[in-house]
Amino acid sequence: MDLVKAPTLFLVLLSLTIWGATSAPNRGGYWPSWAQDFFPPSRIQTAYFTHIYYAFLSPNKDTFQFDIDATTASALTSFNTALHGKNPPVKTMFSIGGGSAGTELFSRMASSRNSRATFIRSTIQVARKYGFDGADLDWEYPQTQTAMNNFGLLLDEWRVAVNNEATSTGKPRLLLSAATHYKPEIYFNELCKYPVASINKNLDWINAMCYDYHGPWTPDATGAPAALYDPNGDLSTSNGLQSWISAGIQRQKLVMGMPLYGWTWKLKNPSVNGIGAPAAGIGPGNEGAMLYSEVQQFNAQNNAKVVYDTQTVSYYSYAGASWIGYDDVNSVQRKVQYAKSLNIGGYFFWTAVGDQDWKISRLASQTWTT
């Protein structure tokens, strides 16, 4: 084609190319292995996702290699067979660690070149043996700056290893991601900052866990678990995302997390029932947690009062002394619109199994892609 004679078409094609390169959405969902009996991977509606994460696998605490027993091996194979065979297919990742794995295992693993190399080799072996497209590290959280620096070294060496493996085998390069704190720094006994330069260089994206701002660990007052805005401070998704951007992360490598669950409280006085209301510990659910679908059932069965809070862009409901903070259709749509306005890489849900008839997943996907 003579582009000189078709300048308008050229500009259209150029704009589409640029838009596609910078705005291709990452629409992820974690699938917890404990959901196998009631929500197998085959039930996931892949039209609403681009990446599904198997959660979780953890390496041996002494060898830092993955010991996969026969039951787990079967589950991993079934997971990938089901999701790669879907129409449309999705990319699959196995997520390593998780909140229950703690930090000590990964701190030791990342502390020396030899243990990092052993871990890296094992991740590549697991990914190839069971058919994953990549690996996701959910280290919650590096608790010293030394651990953060070692996290950066791990990413440097992991990237080299997956590149070399792809070159030597001719296979597509494995994807690498990490689940991170909602902000690029976190305070334990000292202020710890994520190695943003290493993240930019080595990871395909990060999944910033923009939730759990309030929950059972804040038992004395209700709170918005995943507020987009915090009218009283900076404990919010907007602050987290803006902090990552200010720290220099490449926008397309920043993915916003959203919860498909809520946290519950028991109100001290049912007549005082807003966000920040005095509470006397956790409310209904599994240790105060309820899947989004369970929240909807609770609201219907108990004729709960449902409130959309415009200041935090979140929902809460209450029935008697039971109070639940969560996200629903309107707050999710507002969050996705906000994330899209920042030109970041997309969003993910913890967890894909929490939805009710896919209405949140469907809405989020439509909001981002239209």
358 is a domain residue: yes
Domain assignment of residue 336, given as a range: 25-260+328-369
Residue 323 falls within a domain, yes or no? no
According to the model, what pLDDT value does residue 25 have?
75
Choose, from 104, 140, 190, 294, the residue flagged as catalytic. Answer: 140
Is 274 domain-assigned? Answer: no
Question: What distance in Å separates the CA atoms of residue 197 and residue 306, rounded to the nearest whole number?
Answer: 43
For residue 173, what is the DSSP state? P
Active site residue 140: yes
Residue 226: strand, helix, or coil? coil
Q: Tell me if 37 is assigned to some domain.
A: yes
Looking up tokens 């080595």, which residue turns up?
202
CB-CB contact of 105 with 63 (8 Å): no
Please write the tens of the pLDDT for every residue from 8-33: 333 333 333 333 333 467 999 999 99
**How does pLDDT run across 243-280, given as a tens digit for each residue?**
999 999 999 999 999 999 999 999 999 999 999 999 99
- 230: pLDDT strictly greater than 50: yes
Domain count across the chain = 1
Q: What is the pLDDT of residue 237?
A: 98
Residue 279, in any domain of the structure: no
pTM for this model (two decimals)? 0.93
Residue 70 CA to residue 78 CA, distance in Å, equals 12
Is residue 2 in a domain?
no
Q: What pLDDT does 6 receive?
A: 34
The pLDDT assigned to 24 comes to: 60
The predicted model gives 32-43 an average pLDDT of 96
Q: Is residue 15 part of a domain?
A: no
Assigned domain for 10 exists: no
- pLDDT at position 181 is 98
CB-neighbour burial class of residue 329 (10 A; exposed 0-12, middle 13-18, buried 19+): middle
CATH number at residue 241: 3.20.20.80
Per DSSP, which regions of the chain are E strands?
26-32, 51-57, 91-97, 134-138, 175-180, 185-187, 191-193, 205-208, 254-259, 261-266, 289-291, 305-309, 314-319, 322-326, 346-350
Residues 191-219 as b or e (16 or more Cβ within 10 Å = b): ebebbbebbeebbbbbbbbbbbbbbbeee
The string of pLDDT tens digits covering residues 42-96 is 999 999 999 999 999 999 999 999 999 999 999 999 999 999 999 999 999 999 9
